[in-house]
Structure 1
Amino acid sequence: MSVQIEDAVQNSAPRIGKGGAPPPGRRRGTGRAAGKAPYLLLIPALAATAVFLGWPMVRNLILSFQNLNMKQLIQHLTEWRGFGNYSDILGGEQFWRVTVRTIVFTGVNVVLIMTLGVLIGLLLARLGKKMRLVLSVALVLTWAMPVIAATTVFQWLFDARYGVVNWVLDKLGWHSMAHYDWVGSQLSTFFVITVLIVWQSLPFVALNLYAATTTIPKELYEAARMDGAGTWKVFTSVTFPFLKPFFLATTFLEIIWVFKAFPQIFAINEGGPDRLTETLPIYAFTEGVGNLHFGMGAAISLLTIVVLLGMTAYYLRLTLKQEEDEA
């Protein structure tokens, strides 16, 4: 048996000629071609990205320097404003109010999503096979539901006259909620939107973190319990260190997903009432398409990207700094 293993190792090992040179039968250009292969494989993806994402971004950038409305569109006029659109946006109070509102809205949703997602992920790890299968199927069905379809369901649930939520609250004794208008005020509208977005986001976080728990060796749990560690101590010393890379990556993705949420907010109340629930994507659409200020809308959309990049860069900086301190 040992002879066979040695023969296999010798046969699989690369043959090297005299002085460390490759064998005569091997061409020197083969290694260079192999090194370029990954870059060649990236060309189709980079080309598609440049066409479908890069070019629209360039067009949007050009549009943001123009004064474009229905008059210019009909007459095919091009009126350049330079940085006029940007100065009007940054000089007004509306943009900064919407920006702060968007950041707070994103933070609240991400905290709720990650907290509940971790709890459900840990619950999946502790359930039996049958109950785990039932809960996993429910999560997958929730995740697979189209965004507009889910938003329509929530509109019916929270409808003022025929909504199930008002009916249940009325039956439980809160008779003042029988015909409550959930989209009539800023806080109640944000409550409905938050419940909707958290409900849609939980399956991704829960299933992702549950998959991460399957990589944790069971011997570590046994050793921690033998040392007298309780449930919280086991989580902080064993579970979370293994989940941390998945947790940070998932949080990063959720920040992006919640920040750019558009169909849920627009379909619920179009940023109302009185534009009090507008976030930056809704604000850009309202100014660009709703008010027919296309140059202004383009400038707001680019500023939205800048704000998102700033948030994600700050988060990544904190993450990298924390990893360096732990190392």
Structure 2
Amino acid sequence: MSVQTEGTDTAGGPAVHKARTPGPPRDADHGSGSPSRRGGAAPYLLLLPALLATLVLLGWPLVKNGMLSFQNLNPRQLIQHLTEWNGFDNYKEVLTGSDFWHVVERSLVFTAINVVLIMVIGTLVGLLLARLGRRMRLLLMVGLVLAWAMPILASTTVYQWLFAQRFGVVNWVLDKLGWHSMADYNWTGGQVSTFTVIILLLVWQSVPFVAINLYAATTTIPRELYEAASLDGAGAWQSFTSVTFPFLRPFLYATTFLEVIWIFKAFPQIFAINEGGPDHLTETLPIYAFVQGVGNQHFGVGAAISFLTILVLLVMTSYYLRMVLKQEEDEL
């Protein structure tokens, strides 16, 4: 629609101008197939394959395991294809027994010792990488990567050879150094000595991850902050507490969280060293669930223990989750 208005042209005569009335604005994103709506749905479409794979590979086994924990499932039921539901009897049997709580206590102490050693040693090695020259740093990083890349069972076998009773390198070295009583020492004959070997193995496997990632985190710290700290008269320790540590704190929180999960669910190292022995004294919760479920063929009880293991792990990591979430809120 247009409106004619009368005016004067350059020759002095009347001139007619057409003025357009504004119509409704055109919405470039109008319609269900608009780019904005497609762009908003794109992240969800990209996440969909990963979510489906997670549901299939993790969700269904978890549901199946939960169903088994409420069944009386032994070899007889397996052979006859019987499904005997027994409610919470498996959980009552586990929770009312003293063995489960001893294993829980042992698992918590074992995890705490390992995580503390891994984080302290890994942090020191990472800071050392930041201080070394290029050649020495490259040499040390190659060694760390090789230790990290070695398959779990391969490295566990190496430790079994190192700590073997008769022909182990460790016993031979200790004998040569004057501890002749260690010449034929059985490292897997006691609880403390067996845990010592397992802890050394887990620390050796885990330190490279912490050290390399911490070194990578140190490279993001601006050098101007260290220069400003030195101008203010800060020493090495003060520079670490005021500059380095605040930047590394988020990394340390996240890495500690990952290491707690990694150590708590460690299975092949403990089982390969001595199968939770001697006398079940080195069983942690994953080993205990396997021994009760597969070893003793009480599959329902083993499923119940595995579910309780997940609950214990969630309780352990809830504190770190709250810390990480709180830190993200503070940064926002």
Whether the TM-score (by the shorter chain) exceeds 0.5 is yes
Q: Whose helix fraction is larger, Structure 1's or Structure 2's?
A: 1
CA shift for structure 1 position 314: 2.1
Are residues 1:57 and 2:53 paired?
Answer: no
In 2, the alpha carbon distance for the partners of 1:253 and 1:228 equals 37
Q: Secondary structure at 1:143's aligned position in 2?
A: helix
Deviations 1:117-137 (A, max 9, x none): 000000000000000000000
In 2, the alpha carbon distance for the partners of 1:129 and 1:301 equals 47
In 2, the alpha carbon distance for the partners of 1:21 and 1:72 equals 69
In 1, the alpha carbon distance for the partners of 2:280 and 2:142 equals 38
Which residue, out of 229, 232, 240, partners 1:224?
229
In 2, the alpha carbon distance for the partners of 1:325 and 1:26 equals 39
In 1, the alpha carbon distance for the partners of 2:330 and 2:47 equals 35
For 2:318, the equivalent position in structure 1 comes to: 313
Which residue identity is paired with 1:300? I
Q: Secondary structure at 1:61's aligned position in 2?
A: helix
Counterparts in 2 of 1:142 and 1:19: CA distance versus 1, 3 Å: farther
Q: Secondary structure at 1:176's aligned position in 2?
A: helix
Which residue identity is paired with 2:43? P
Deviates further, 75-84 or 198-207: 75-84
For 1:74, the equivalent position in structure 2 comes to: 79
In 1, the alpha carbon distance for the partners of 2:327 and 2:36 equals 39
In 2, the alpha carbon distance for the partners of 1:31 and 1:177 equals 73
Are residues 1:189 and 2:191 paired?
Answer: no
Which residue, out of 95, 98, 103, partners 1:93?
98
Instruction: Give the percent of matched residue pairs that are identical in Structure 1 and Structure 2.
Output: 70
Are the counterparts in 1 of residues 29 and 35 from structure 2 also a CA contact under 8 Å?
no
Which residue, out of 308, 314, 324, partners 1:303?
308
Which residue identity is paired with 1:310? V
For 1:259, the equivalent position in structure 2 comes to: 264
For 2:239, the equivalent position in structure 1 comes to: 234
CA shift for structure 1 position 30: 1.7
Report runs of 4+ in structure 1 exceeding 4 Å deviation.
17-28, 318-327
Are residues 1:122 and 2:160 paired?
Answer: no
For 2:41, the equivalent position in structure 1 comes to: 36
Q: Secondary structure at 1:189's aligned position in 2?
A: helix
Counterparts in 2 of 1:182 and 1:306: CA distance versus 1, 3 Å: same
Unaligned 5+ runs, structure 1? 1-16
Counterparts in 2 of 1:155 and 1:33: CA distance versus 1, 3 Å: same
CA shift for structure 1 position 320: 4.5
In 2, the alpha carbon distance for the partners of 1:301 and 1:72 equals 20
For 2:290, the equivalent position in structure 1 comes to: 285
TM-score, normalised to structure 2, is 0.89
In 1, the alpha carbon distance for the partners of 2:174 and 2:26 equals 81
Q: Whose strand fraction is larger, Structure 1's or Structure 2's?
A: 2
Unaligned 5+ runs, structure 2? 1-21
Counterparts in 2 of 1:24 and 1:159: CA distance versus 1, 3 Å: closer
Q: What is the RMSD computed on CA atoms of the aligned residues?
A: 2.1
Counterparts in 2 of 1:28 and 1:323: CA distance versus 1, 3 Å: closer
CA shift for structure 1 position 317: 2.3
Which residue, out of 28, 49, 52, partners 1:47?
52
TM-score, normalised to structure 1, is 0.90
Are the counterparts in 1 of residues 250 and 324 from structure 2 also a CA contact under 8 Å?
no
In the alignment of these two chains, the number of paired residues is 311
Counterparts in 2 of 1:272 and 1:24: CA distance versus 1, 3 Å: closer
For 2:174, the equivalent position in structure 1 comes to: 169
In 2, the alpha carbon distance for the partners of 1:27 and 1:37 equals 14
Which residue, out of 249, 258, 281, partners 1:276?
281
For 2:9, the equivalent position in structure 1 comes to: none
Are the counterparts in 1 of residues 221 and 247 from structure 2 also a CA contact under 8 Å?
yes
Deviations 1:148-179 (A, max 9, x none): 00000000000010000000000000111111
Are residues 1:205 and 2:236 paired?
Answer: no
Q: Secondary structure at 2:167's aligned position in 1?
A: coil
Q: Secondary structure at 1:183's aligned position in 2?
A: coil
In 1, the alpha carbon distance for the partners of 2:209 and 2:23 equals 56
Which residue identity is paired with 2:119? M
Deviations 1:214-255 (A, max 9, x none): 001111111112222121111110101111111111111111
Counterparts in 2 of 1:18 and 1:197: CA distance versus 1, 3 Å: farther
